Structure 1
Amino acid sequence: MRLHKLRSKIALVFVLLMLAVQAAVFIAADRVIASVARAHVDEQLDVGERVFRRVLQSDTARLTQAAGIVAADFGFREAVATGDEATVMSALRNQGDRIRADVAMLVNLEGKLIADSRTPSGVGSPFAFPALLEHPARKDAATLIGSIGGKAYALVVVPVKAPTTIAWVAIGFSIDDAFAAQMHDVTSLDVSFMTRVSGNRWTIAASSLPGEERGALQRASGGAMFADRHDTSLQLNDGFGSRAVWLAPYGEPVVAVLQKSIAEAIARFRQLQVALLLLTLAGVAVSIAGATLTARSVTRPLAELTRFARRIGRGEYDASISISQKDEISELAAAFSQMRNDIAEREARITNLAYVDTLTALPNRLAFCERLEEAIDRSGREAGSLAVMVMDIDRFKYVNDALGHHAGDMLLREVGKRLRQALPHASDLVARLGGDEFAMLLPHSGPDAAQRVANACLKALEAPIQIEEHFVDVGASLGIACFPQHGADMPTLLRRADAAMYVAKRANTGVAMYDASRERGGAERLSLMSELRHAIDHGELRLYYQPKVDLATNAMAHVEALVRWVHPARGMVPPGEFIPFAEQTGFIRSISRWVAGEAIAQCARWHALGLELNVSINLSARDLGADLPDALDALLRRHGLDARWLWVEITESALMDDPAHAIDTLERLHRLGIRLSIDDFGTGYSSLAYLKRMPVSELKIDRSFVMGMTGDADDELIVRSTIALAHNMGLQVAAEGIEDEATLARLRALHCDIAQGYYLSRPLPADKVEGWLREWNEVVAACSQTQSG
């Protein structure tokens, strides 16, 4: 029986309680029996003492009668009177033999022995008990039990009268083991006669006790044990109740010890003790059986409940439990059943929340990843293929901004519905990963089939989606990764499909298959990003300055600061390889602050040399924080540069991400005196309503229109229209990306204000700008002389 089991513990408690009760009863009964036995022994001692005294009185009466006969005999009196010792001795012996006396003595009036049946040599010696001769009842007889020569005797002294007392006759018998045995037979007690031999040491003169117990009594009877004649109940040898009876009333040291064995008294109760013991054992056995049955009746339903709970823990919610007994355990079973139903219901809700997107009712990222892992495992075993597609809705933020998030939610639900309808097989899965990003799993499709499904999905989204009173055109970018060509596990396939989606978004192709070469370039750029902070801290960044030429005067009074990274191992790293990632991670703010500080400091140095140059810096959308104006103002004050010499170029797309916030920041910069330019104009879909509210001084036409304007009428139209629009709004126009003379001449003809490009000058280090400016001025002067000549 294992004690850690509840059943064992219950049974053990029951048995221990029963054992405790039975042991208490048994101990109490044993003590009562011992007490009753002790009382019975005391009662027997009382009765035995009375019988002992009666028998002793009877024996002394018989001696008294015999002594009286001897003392009354005429011949004996005459022999005593005449001093005939032979006749006296003969008479004493005859009389003693007749009554079986052990001693017969004749004592004269002076207390000396005239005759002694024990030994003739004692004649003339003093009588051992002179007090008997002085007893008040000496006219009749006196009795005594005393010690003579270490032996106890019962003596009777009778006066011999003729007619007055002429002598004393003393007759007695010896108190020995036979006498003690006789007394034992009469009183049913063990009788021991003890005498004091020297000082307070006592010895046993006669006893009915056997040898071992006799020795125990001898060892126990030491010292002044019998000094108090009134203390008759004694504690002597163990196992006996004892009573002391003083036999010598005149101070003679003789005591009779009456004893009764307590063990014998208890023996009559032994059967009761055995019966109690048997009852105790029977009670323990019954309690064990009862405790076992009770524990089983309690623990068996609990074991059933335990098995039920374990099945629930394993998710087996169809498990049932039935408890027949009607008690608290049945109520607990009912509670367990209700708990099972509640847990099953809650788990169903939790599972739905964990695996289903609540907005679109499509599987969520977790469910999609699990299904994808299962499909990869199955395709790996069957040597099959599958495709994963990740799709992102283009310009979804504009829907939320223009129509609200409620409209955005409706759009996502409709997109999910159309994607589900566009999938060709029931086993295909569409899921919402989060935000405006969806994923599709094609378990039995290769690259070609996946490409067809991707085109079908894009086609399903071509029809405008009605959201309340509005119709919204939805565009999307979709990336594809296939197993096993592009990855052998779920994270790799998802990551690579996502990378392909961003390729499609940047290239505006709608669909893109994963290309490993692009990922290697991305990994290299990511590695560069990890080293970018080190580059700023250790002076690896450089500023180059590209001149801008006023087309009306051919003067160069303006430069644009462009950042370059001189990597210790890779050499010159162009900004296109690290600026986009810096913008995504937010690290662009650190770069922009460094560029602003370096450009303002360099401009101040040029002014100190007499070169009055304007310098422009580029800022991204992440730089347009509330602290930007204060930071630039602090830099200008530190270097003593007037704010009008600083230009800030901000891309059109950055302004359109959050126009209200951008306008507020631009107005604060304008109040400082800093001049503003919209960079890459024509690519950001800016609204003229916003444009007219912005305190800008310049529009900078994107290079994509400038570089193709001489060969593309549409590009030239855009450039011409932009120049006209800017001039009508009171703004100057700058064109970048000028690669040849024809483009420069065409811009002059269109009255463009500022020109910038490799045809004029590549970006220069700061120490080369002054030299270039001198050469440019010389060329301009030479051209002017030629034209005038």
Structure 2
Amino acid sequence: MRLRFKRLQWRIAVWFALILLTVQLGGLFLFAEIGRSSALEEVDARLETGDRVFSRLLDQRNAQLAQAARVLTADYGFREALLSRDAATIESALENHGSRIDASLMLLLDLDETVIGAYPDPTRIASPRLTQLVDEARRDGQATGFTLAQGRLYQLVVVPMLAPVPVAWVVIGFVVDEPFVRDLKHLTGLEVSFLVQSPSSPRQIAASTLDAAGQGALLNVAEARSLEIDNEEYRGHTHTIEALEQTEIFAVLQLSLKGALAPWERLYREWSGLSLAAMLVMVLASLILGRTIASPVSRLAGFAREVGSGRYAEPPAVERGDEIGQLADAFSLMTEAIASREARISELAYRDALTGLPNRVHFMEQLHAAVELAALRAQQIAVLTLDIDRFKLINDALGHGFGDLVLCEVGRRLRVAGVRQRDLSADMRLDGNAAARLGGDEFGLLIPDADDTVARIVAGRIATALEHPMSIQGQLVDVRASIGIALFPQHCTDAGDLIRCADVAMYKAKRHNATVEVYDPTHHQRNAARLSLLTELRQAVERDELVLYYQPKYAFKPDKALHLEALVRWVHPQRGFVPPMEFIPFAEQTGYIKAITQWVMNRAIQQCAEWQRAGREIHVGLNISARDLLQPDLPETFVRMLEAHACEARLITLEITESAVVDDPRNALANLERLRATGCSLSIDDYGTGYSSLSYVRQMPVHELKIDRSFVMNLTTHPGDEIIVRSTIELAHDMGLTVTAEGVETEDILLRLGELGCDLAQGYLVSRPLAVADLDVWMANSPWARSGSISSSA
């Protein structure tokens, strides 16, 4: 027997028996703790996953609510009702839209936050939080948040109604109630409770999936991390929704440990029985346990690490019906559940919900990967961006719902006509046939291993596919796209730069009414020059590099006053004279025209005041851009300048174009009335080249009408132009307006204008634009300075 104990296997058997006995006694206790710890980890992992899903669902809901509010603000009838302050129509629109989206509250607030219309009860929400949300929307363009009112928690969304500046606020409220939290429970798999806490009142539950006992227990604990309800233990996670100065709104996500502990409790009981049997077959058990427990547990542990790193492969096959098999099944179920939730989250993050195509985020990830692979293989990549032409017209004419259907059809045709996967190697095949919706009506396409020729072929195939009429809801729609192409590495070596270059080419195609344009590096040079021009233009105003020239007008009838038009000129220190057509349109596009207009107004009024003090009766005309006319402070600024220089308003004529009124008739006409009240004269400049109707001209409180040079220059050679000019003069005189003809360059035209009854003539025949010093010489010596001298000068 002694010799037998010298053998390793027997010593192992004896020691194993002793150790096993001790381990089994203490192991049962440890096993229970391990099982509980694993269950807690599993529940905590599910709580963390549920918290991410809960956060994404709230973000998605916020986006959906904001979109629903913007649909209402874009409704033409609703905008018209707001402008006319038709209370009945406003309330009806609020009620209809609220019913469609199942809103609990619909409010339309004036800019001072007074209620214009409400459904169903304007007093239901009376909270300082609403004022905060309006301030956030004023700053950020929209705002969403939660507030407690009348004992109920509301989710609010505030968006401005633009025309084009904010004219009102649309507020939509959704009560956080039991159906809402039940939906969240269904999506997250967790118990969900919304709580509100403030220093002035006890914590209260706004909505919860827990029963009354569970809600009472939740209110009585300071920390919801661990909670016992009806002898059942719950783990909890607190998700802060809003932490305001006086109120904190948060959600408590909970999950019972019962389901997670069940496999471990069963395993614990069975392990006890197994321990007794193991004592009888100790040596054999050591071999069996080594072969049947350690190996599969090790494989399951390795699989758990794979899951932890985000790789959801098939779990290792464990063909057993005992605890190890149950553990493997639990791993399998857990993996499937986590993978399913991760897939849903990924779909929300990387897939466009409308067209089913990858979104911009997914497309950029594909593009980054493709660029890295192409750089390693020394291959080319083509990126296409396309924008649907006249898509805004489709939305405006047929509605945004119809426009969404058009985008879906465009996405379908892109999948068919885009990159053909059979032409690519297996490691280059991309999701969605390499097509993605980048936003709005803009789509992108990635073509691996493609040069300029291949890119043009694919672009042509897409253009042809889109040009076929679309039959949507019985309506035939013709769609055309502008496509831009950028190539790697010829144009850019960075994914973000490729998209930007393709956009530059696409917008060039749109401007030139072309279907396909390939990026030209000189575009960047021109853009850099334009950016430099903007910087220098700002400096020109600050350094007083701009100058005013004045172009005289000839009066056909005797008039003691002289009429001039002030024209801005730029004398650049390095570039020299910069023509107005090179910087005025650019200033209008960038919004800097306001600073230039104020500079011109101030200098012209100052000069007019100096002439007035010198005893000269000189009337000065100033050009006001469309952007300037819509500035609400323009009349006050104009009056301040007149007062600062002691200039009479009657000596100033403000010239505006027809399009300035067409863009925003309501605000433009209101500003014109306020300007007229100052005592100045108003003139319609470039008449005949805009898009307005005579009804706008009739409504405009103007004194003068200027016929555009395009109708005057061929007056004596084109009978059609003469008919237009004669009719315009007669119409203007019938309306009590003075008529000025621009572009007079020959005496024949001047004589004919006099015969047609024109009042004033302006052009190079009379004089070119002159500096102030040259203008003094012209007034002293030129026969054109004396009104009514047409016969003698001719």
TM-score normalised by L of structure 2: 0.52
**Could you tell me which residue of structure 1 aligns to residue 353 of structure 2?**
358
**Could you tell me which residue of structure 1 aligns to residue 531 of structure 2?**
526
Deviation at 1:298, TM superposition (A): 12
C-alpha separation in 2, matches of 1:707 and 1:387: 49
Structure-to-structure mapping, 1:179-578, within 5 angstroms: 307-320=302-315, 337=332, 340-376=335-371, 385=380, 387-401=382-396, 404-417=399-412, 423=418, 425=420, 429-443=434-448, 446-447=451-452, 450=455, 477-509=482-514, 511-550=516-555, 557-578=562-583
Which of 582, 588, 601 aligns to 1:583? It is 588
Letter of the aligned partner of 2:601 in structure 1?
A
Letter of the aligned partner of 2:665 in structure 1?
P
Cα distance, 1:597–1:784 mapped onto 2, change above 3 Å = closer
State the Cα deviation string for residues 453-497 of structure 1 (Å, max 9, x = none).
656656666677677797766565444444555444434443333
TM-score normalised by L of structure 1: 0.52
5+ residue gaps, structure 1, are: 1-10, 19-292
5+ residue gaps, structure 2, are: 1-18, 27-287, 424-432
The question of whether the paired residues in 2 share the 8 Å contact of 1:706 and 1:715 is answered with yes
**Could you tell me which residue of structure 2 aligns to residue 771 of structure 1?**
777
State the Cα deviation string for residues 590-612 of structure 1 (Å, max 9, x = none).
33333322222222222222232
The question of whether the paired residues in 1 share the 8 Å contact of 2:626 and 2:659 is answered with no
Which of 647, 668, 674 aligns to 1:668? It is 674
C-alpha separation in 1, matches of 2:548 and 2:376: 57
**Could you tell me which residue of structure 2 aligns to residue 646 of structure 1?**
652
Which of 688, 694, 701 aligns to 1:695? It is 701
Does 2:627 correspond to 1:621?
yes
Cα distance, 1:763–1:551 mapped onto 2, change above 3 Å = same
**Could you tell me which residue of structure 2 aligns to residue 656 of structure 1?**
662
Cα distance, 1:391–1:335 mapped onto 2, change above 3 Å = same
Cα distance, 1:378–1:753 mapped onto 2, change above 3 Å = farther
Count of residue pairs the alignment pairs up: 501
**Could you tell me which residue of structure 1 aligns to residue 249 of structure 2?**
none
User: Secondary structure at the residue paired with 2:385?
Assistant: strand
C-alpha separation in 1, matches of 2:311 and 2:778: 83
Letter of the aligned partner of 1:359 in structure 2?
L
**Could you tell me which residue of structure 1 aligns to residue 597 of structure 2?**
592
C-alpha separation in 2, matches of 1:770 and 1:392: 55
Cα distance, 1:518–1:714 mapped onto 2, change above 3 Å = farther
Deviation at 1:413, TM superposition (A): 3.8
C-alpha separation in 1, matches of 2:388 and 2:689: 19
Deviation at 1:525, TM superposition (A): 1.7
Cα distance, 1:745–1:369 mapped onto 2, change above 3 Å = farther
Letter of the aligned partner of 2:596 in structure 1?
I
User: Secondary structure at the residue paired with 2:357?
Assistant: coil
Cα distance, 1:542–1:383 mapped onto 2, change above 3 Å = same
The question of whether the paired residues in 1 share the 8 Å contact of 2:554 and 2:784 is answered with no
The question of whether the paired residues in 2 share the 8 Å contact of 1:396 and 1:408 is answered with yes
**Could you tell me which residue of structure 1 aligns to residue 606 of structure 2?**
601
The question of whether the paired residues in 2 share the 8 Å contact of 1:386 and 1:441 is answered with yes
Letter of the aligned partner of 1:605 in structure 2?
E
Deviation at 1:529, TM superposition (A): 1.6
User: Secondary structure at the residue paired with 1:672?
Assistant: coil
Identity %: 49
Does 2:636 correspond to 1:633?
no
**Could you tell me which residue of structure 2 aligns to residue 685 of structure 1?**
691
Deviation at 1:526, TM superposition (A): 0.7
User: Secondary structure at the residue paired with 1:615?
Assistant: strand
Deviation at 1:309, TM superposition (A): 4.5
Cα distance, 1:782–1:550 mapped onto 2, change above 3 Å = closer
Cα distance, 1:666–1:779 mapped onto 2, change above 3 Å = closer
Letter of the aligned partner of 1:648 in structure 2?
L
C-alpha separation in 1, matches of 2:712 and 2:660: 21
From the CA coordinates, give the structure whose radius of gyration is larger: 1
Deviation at 1:624, TM superposition (A): 1.2
State the Cα deviation string for residues 684-708 of structure 1 (Å, max 9, x = none).
4334554543334445455566567
CA RMSD of aligned residues (A): 4.8
C-alpha separation in 2, matches of 1:350 and 1:525: 43
Letter of the aligned partner of 1:576 in structure 2?
M
Cα distance, 1:532–1:728 mapped onto 2, change above 3 Å = same
Letter of the aligned partner of 1:637 in structure 2?
E
The question of whether the paired residues in 2 share the 8 Å contact of 1:547 and 1:560 is answered with yes
User: Secondary structure at the residue paired with 1:349?
Assistant: helix
Cα distance, 1:316–1:429 mapped onto 2, change above 3 Å = closer
Cα distance, 1:393–1:310 mapped onto 2, change above 3 Å = same
Letter of the aligned partner of 1:315 in structure 2?
G
C-alpha separation in 1, matches of 2:725 and 2:506: 32
Cα distance, 1:362–1:747 mapped onto 2, change above 3 Å = farther
Cα distance, 1:649–1:498 mapped onto 2, change above 3 Å = farther
State the Cα deviation string for residues 225-259 of structure 1 (Å, max 9, x = none).
xxxxxxxxxxxxxxxxxxxxxxxxxxxxxxxxxxx
The question of whether the paired residues in 1 share the 8 Å contact of 2:649 and 2:679 is answered with yes
State the Cα deviation string for residues 164-215 of structure 1 (Å, max 9, x = none).
xxxxxxxxxxxxxxxxxxxxxxxxxxxxxxxxxxxxxxxxxxxxxxxxxxxx
State the Cα deviation string for residues 724-765 of structure 1 (Å, max 9, x = none).
665666655545455555665666666555544445433333
Deviation at 1:380, TM superposition (A): 5.5
The question of whether the paired residues in 1 share the 8 Å contact of 2:388 and 2:481 is answered with yes
C-alpha separation in 1, matches of 2:752 and 2:515: 35
Deviation at 1:338, TM superposition (A): 5.1
C-alpha separation in 2, matches of 1:749 and 1:424: 68
Cα distance, 1:603–1:352 mapped onto 2, change above 3 Å = farther
C-alpha separation in 2, matches of 1:380 and 1:483: 9
Letter of the aligned partner of 1:670 in structure 2?
R
Cα distance, 1:325–1:475 mapped onto 2, change above 3 Å = closer
Structure-to-structure mapping, 1:27-106, within 5 angstroms: none
